[in-house]
Amino acid sequence: MYFLMPFCFCMKVRNAGNVIPNAQHFQDEYFSCEPAALELGCVINDIRHIIVCGHSDCKAMNLLYKLEDEEYSSQRNRRLSPLRSWMWTHANSSLEHFKAWRNAGMQGPLIFSSETPLRRFVAYIDPENKFALEDKLSQINTLQQLSNVASYGFLKPRLESHDLHIHALWFDIYTGDIYYFSRGAKRFVPIDETSVERLTAEVRRYYS
């Protein structure tokens, strides 16, 4: 997850699966480092753009995909594996989105909440069917994090006033292609000489 400031300062937060836990997981004063970083970057330092990044052949996403298996994801095995426990607790919503989409034939759109509960966006995942199932899950997980970011109350005023913006990038580690999720195109679009002007215009129009 990257935070971009107006004078080109970049703040980066990384964890297994690039997961931002949803605010519903935290009670009272218990938090993890991810929401603390969001507050530091977006409230204290006035950062205006959050970019959630995912990539192909992500080992955490490969593990998340395996958590469909009841034995692999059993409580006993989760207690033996911090990574399984982390992904089960904080990325299971991505897996449920993926399972519902796959069971429906992997053709229709997915709907995600975004900056506010009433503001949603539509996403078509890998319509050309270029990527493995685990990579499709990775793209879904990247988009799910936009909803998770927006779940924090301390970001609500800036999100509602369009003073803070959330984006998604996805990187194919084997080809070097970088994809930007275009809400206009409703899909991840490769950033290249044929798309860069259109994507730049979209960002300037809706996220400046």
Q: Which fold has domain 2-206?
A: Beta-carbonic Anhydrase; Chain A (3.40.1050)
Q: In what order do the strands lie in the sheet with 178-182?
A: 10-12, 2-4, 49-55, 165-171, 178-182, 187-190
Q: What is the pLDDT along the chain (208 residues), one digit of tens a residue?
A: 655 545 455 778 889 999 999 988 877 666 788 999 999 999 999 999 999 999 999 999 999 999 999 999 999 999 999 999 999 999 999 999 999 999 999 999 999 998 887 889 999 999 999 999 999 999 999 999 999 999 999 999 999 999 999 999 999 999 999 999 999 999 999 999 999 999 999 999 888 7
Q: Is 25 annotated as a binding residue?
A: no
Spans of all domains in the chain = 2-206
- Contact between 140 and 97 (Cβ < 8 Å): yes
58 annotated as ligand-binding: yes
